[in-house]
Amino acid sequence: MTIRAVFFDLGGVIVRTEYQAPRQRLAEQFGMDYEDIEKVVFGGGPNGSSARASVGEISEEEHWQNVMKVLKLPAAEAERVKREFFGGDVIDRSLLEFLRSLKPEYKVGAISNAWSGLRKFMEREKFADVFDAIIISAEVGAAKPSEKIYRIALEQFQVKPKEAVFVDDFIENIEACEKLGMRGIHFTDAESALKQLKTIL
């Protein structure tokens, strides 16, 4: 069946941590390793602050306040720490331009496990308009690899699973979408992902 919808993950695909130095410097401020500071922000398991923020149980602001408590910093430092933590992230503008070029022939969507601030970030960085629909886990109360978030995305575009392709950097998220009947592309780098996508479209 013909592909009608193209979905992309955001973090790790369109927005990638290309430079580790800012995060490394931040870690060193607290006598931590790079991996340790990542665990503070993203870790904690399924019941941790990050996971709860990812399904909208708490706000992004509340999550960062929890991070501040772990780091033993005053709440007012949250914005600085957040800015430094994400200081090495880069938005792949050329990939976004490719997605723009797919419209109007294809519907283009984003499916992201993310906290409540993602949509504002996309609007501020002027790339929210690339997508016909943006499905954010914190807004819909479900996160990949849950079937629910993929079904929400498909319903937004009124397409069947076999009419959609999804690009994500986590293999478990690709396996989950394929189990539902979608086509999946495991993202390792932009060039190979686009090459695979072009063979499907």
Question: pLDDT by residue (tens digit) across 130-175?
Answer: 999 999 999 999 999 999 999 999 999 999 999 999 999 999 999 9
How high is the pLDDT of residue 1?
74
Locus of tokens 């013909």: 2
- Percent of the chain at pLDDT > 70 equals 100
Cβ neighbours of 153 (radius 10 Å): 23
How high is the pLDDT of residue 43?
94
- Domain 5-16+90-200 fold is Rossmann fold (3.40.50)
Residue 29 pLDDT exceeds 90: yes
Mean pLDDT of the chain: 98
- In terms of Cα–Cα distance, which of 154, 177, 173, 143 is closest to 107? 154
How high is the pLDDT of residue 199?
97
Locus of tokens 């060193």: 28
How high is the pLDDT of residue 47?
93
How high is the pLDDT of residue 11?
98
Q: Do residues 124 and 99 lie in contact, with contact meaning Cβ atoms separated by under 8 Å? A: no
Sequence ranges of the chain with CATH classification 3.40.50.1000: 5-16+90-200
Q: Average pLDDT of 22-26? A: 98
Specify which residues 124 forms β-bridges with: none
Dihedral of CA 138/141/147/153: which sign?
A: negative
Q: pTM of the predicted model, to two decimals?
A: 0.96
